[in-house]
Amino acid sequence: MNILRHTAPRLLRDTLAVLAAAVLGLVLSTGKAWSAELLKPYVLAYTTAAALEAEVAAVKGKLAAAGFEVIGEYAPYPGAHVVAVTHAELKAAAARPALSAFGATIHVGFTTVDGKLQVSYLNPRYQAAAYRLSTDLGGVAQTLAKTLGSQQSFGADEGRTAEQLRDFRYMVGMETFEDTYDLGSHASYEAAVKAVEANLQKQVGGAAKVYRLDLPGQRTLFGVSRAQVTDPRANDKHILQDTVDQKFSIKTTAYLPYTLLVDGKQVKALHMRFRMAVWHPDLTMVTFGKLMSSPGAIEELLAKVSGGKKESFSF
């Protein structure tokens, strides 16, 4: 009896300690698994047999009803359409720092493939990590999934963790998120916006405006169509449909359009060797090789759109 009196409490304590350790281990392992969640660049909402124009109109109505603001749209090439939207949560996440403005919009892509229409969109949580936003845009992701659907994510075989995306570089020597094209400077923010607006209106170099989004802190984000650009190295169809999307059965049309940022007196854009790579992280070097001269051509085109003072191009 004396032995039981002394050993029972100790056995109980030991048992409780083992159970506590097991629970703690489970919590930690679950947290680690959550933090290491693999994200993919795009979300396929659904496929349909509906006509392209009718489905675009229907989706725009659904998005507006769900609290999104449709700010622009265009057809980059036959059989494809892109609608750009923003949202209060997107604008809040893009409040600072300056380059976070690139994350203030979401693009929805419509692509006709083998008689079916694919409706897809940029994965907000992937974008939040890649563009180093202050939040993960989980609310936007949930609203889009509820409004349009979320059949599957795609665009990468294995995906990337948020941590990997925040420091993404396709390979040594290539650009990161912060290594932007510096396209030119102006006397003031107002002069910079006016110049870009005027050059897109004139379709300098074949570029045209898809959307304009004014943000706090003297920042304005432009969506730029390259559908009419005659230089194939910078043309939407040549780069995406004819080259990159040959790899994918589900098309990455929502990658378009290219975006340009007026940040105070400066005009900037994400470098193609970052932007193309982060939205197509499994792209082979063979495909990149086919686009070897595109980064320089895109910089040259966007510098013309900027209309600012720039000494040289970084090819």
110-128: per-residue pLDDT in tens?
999 999 999 999 999 999 9
Residue predicted with more confidence, 298 or 25: 298
C-alpha closest to that of 116 among 45, 53, 48: 48
Please check whether residue 102 is in contact with residue 130, taking contact to mean a CB–CB distance below 8 angstroms: no
Tens of pLDDT along 216-255? Answer: 999 999 999 999 999 999 999 999 999 999 989 999 999 9
Tens of pLDDT along 141-188? Answer: 999 999 999 999 999 999 999 999 999 999 999 999 999 999 999 999
Q: What is the pLDDT of residue 200?
A: 98
Q: What is the pLDDT of residue 27?
A: 38
Measured in whole angstroms, how far is the alpha carbon of residue 58 from the centre of its chain? 23
What is d(CA 103, CA 89) in angstroms, rounded to the nearest whole number? 11
User: What's the rounded mean pLDDT across residues 42-51?
Assistant: 98
Could you tell me where the DSSP H helices lie in the chain?
2-35, 52-65, 88-93, 124-130, 138-148, 162-166, 189-201, 236, 272-279, 285-290, 294-306
What is d(CA 227, CA 75) in angstroms, rounded to the nearest whole number? 8
C-alpha closest to that of 71 among 58, 80, 82: 82
Residue 189 has φ and ψ, to the nearest 5°, of -60, -45
pLDDT for 22 beyond 80: no
Q: What is the pLDDT of residue 247?
A: 85
For domain 42-306, say whether CATH 3.30.310.70 is its number.
Answer: yes
Please check whether residue 111 is in contact with residue 44, taking contact to mean a CB–CB distance below 8 angstroms: no
Question: How far separated are the first and last CA of the chain, in Å rounded?
Answer: 86
CA atoms within 13 A on the CB side of 51: 3
Q: What is the pLDDT of residue 5?
A: 46
User: What's the rounded mean pLDDT across residues 52-70?
Assistant: 98
Q: What is the pLDDT of residue 178?
A: 97
The CA–CA distances, whole Å, from 98 to 85, 132, 167, 219, 261 equal 20, 11, 17, 8, 9
Residue 311 pLDDT class (50, 70, 90 cuts):
low
Rounded to 10°, the helix 272-279/294-306 angle is 120
Question: Looking up tokens 């004819």, which residue turns up?
Answer: 242
Tens of pLDDT along 244-256? Answer: 999 899 999 999 9
Which pTM value belongs to this model? 0.87
Measured in whole angstroms, how far is the alpha carbon of residue 93 from the centre of its chain? 14
Encoded amino acid at 37, one letter: E
Burial zone of 191 (CB within 10 Å; 0-12 exposed, 13-18 middle, 19+ buried): middle
Tens of pLDDT along 260-301? Answer: 999 999 999 999 999 999 999 999 999 989 999 999 999 999
Q: What is the pLDDT of residue 26?
A: 39
Residue 15 has φ and ψ, to the nearest 5°, of -65, -45
- Mean pLDDT of the residues in the chain: 90
What is d(CA 53, CA 299) in angstroms, rounded to the nearest whole number? 32
Q: What is the pLDDT of residue 72?
A: 98
Element (H, E) at 113: strand 106-113
Q: Which pair of tokens denotes residue 156?
A: 């990468």
pLDDT for 10 beyond 60: no
Q: Give the domain ranges of the chain.
A: 42-306
Q: What is the pLDDT of residue 12?
A: 42
C-alpha closest to that of 204 among 185, 222, 226, 183: 226
Percent of the chain residues topping a pLDDT of 90: 85
Q: What is the pLDDT of residue 236?
A: 98
Number of residues in the chain: 315
What is d(CA 179, CA 275) in angstroms, rounded to the nearest whole number? 10
